[in-house]
Chains A and B, each alone.
Chain A
Amino acid sequence: DVKVTQSSRYLVKRTGEKVFLECVQDMDHENMFWYRQDPGLGLRLIYFSYDVKMKEKGDIPEGYSVSREKKERFSLILESASTNQTSMYLCASSLYSVQSNQPQHFGDGTRLSIL
């Protein structure tokens, strides 16, 4: 069965801290994604990666960076956390397909609070 694991379910950090959110998938998927979800808004894409060491900006990349050193792991980094980055963060992965008809598989999410 497909498994996407996020390192923390809940996290509390302080303004200005550097924050790492980790995501690991065990399906050998090429594609990995980071989203944030805020009330009244859909999932918004922060960054995605379609291969090791490859990354592309999503719709809201400002204030974030990512790292994909290994195929199974995709890390989201908040360089200097701010209160407006308090949110639910979701990681997802999918198999590469030329037809692009592969669904995304999600982790349980990390609820991050920045004080």
Chain B
Amino acid sequence: ILNVEQSPQSLHVQEGDSTNFTCSFPSSNFYALHWYRWETAKSPEALFVMTLNGDEKKKGRISATLNTKEGYSYLYIKGSQPEDSATYLCAFRPRSASKIIFGSGTRLSIRP
């Protein structure tokens, strides 16, 4: 069984503060790691797809890092804004399968 763990499960952050959360995945059999943002009443939206150890990707105030040797990825949000409130999902693609396995998500709420 391939487990993808996300922590924390939920997070409340003051507007303007920076925050980060974690996705853990099996370090062996790695192929790719996806991050998605899922806002209420909308469809999940792809943020990043990462494949290389040490990779760092950025999209505006959001960035992500990848450590395939130890099996984790961090998502960072700098200067949180109300529109950042969403559930952030990571998904792991193992080498041995043609599907991705989702974590249960981190629900982020930004307090104005």
A interface residues with partner B (beta carbon < 8 Å): 4, 33, 35, 40-45, 48, 50, 56, 58-59, 90, 92, 99-109
Nearest CB on A from B96, distance (A): 12
Residues of B within 8 A of A (CB-CB), count: 23
Chain A: which residue is nearest B100 at the CB level?
A: A104
B interface residues with partner A (beta carbon < 8 Å): 4, 31-32, 34, 36, 42-46, 49, 51, 89, 91, 93, 98-105
Nearest CB on A from B48, distance (A): 8
In the complex the two chains form, is A42's CB within 8 Å of B46's CB? no
In the complex the two chains form, is A42's CB within 8 Å of B105's CB? yes
Q: Which residues of B contact A101 (CB under 8 A)?
A: 32, 49, 51
- Measured in the bound complex, the distance between the Cα atoms of B34 and A56 in whole Å is 21
10 shortest A-B CB distances, which residue pairs? A103-B46, A42-B102, A106-B43, A43-B102, A42-B104, A106-B44, A101-B49, A108-B43, A42-B103, A103-B49
In the complex the two chains form, is A103's CB within 8 Å of B99's CB? no
- Measured in the bound complex, the distance between the Cα atoms of B51 and A50 in whole Å is 21
In the complex the two chains form, is B43's CB within 8 Å of A103's CB? no
In the complex the two chains form, is B43's CB within 8 Å of A4's CB? yes
Chain A: which residue is nearest B47 at the CB level?
A: A103
In the complex the two chains form, is A105's CB within 8 Å of B46's CB? yes
For A58, A90, A99, A100, the residue with the greatest tally of chain B CB atoms inside 10 Å of its CB is A100
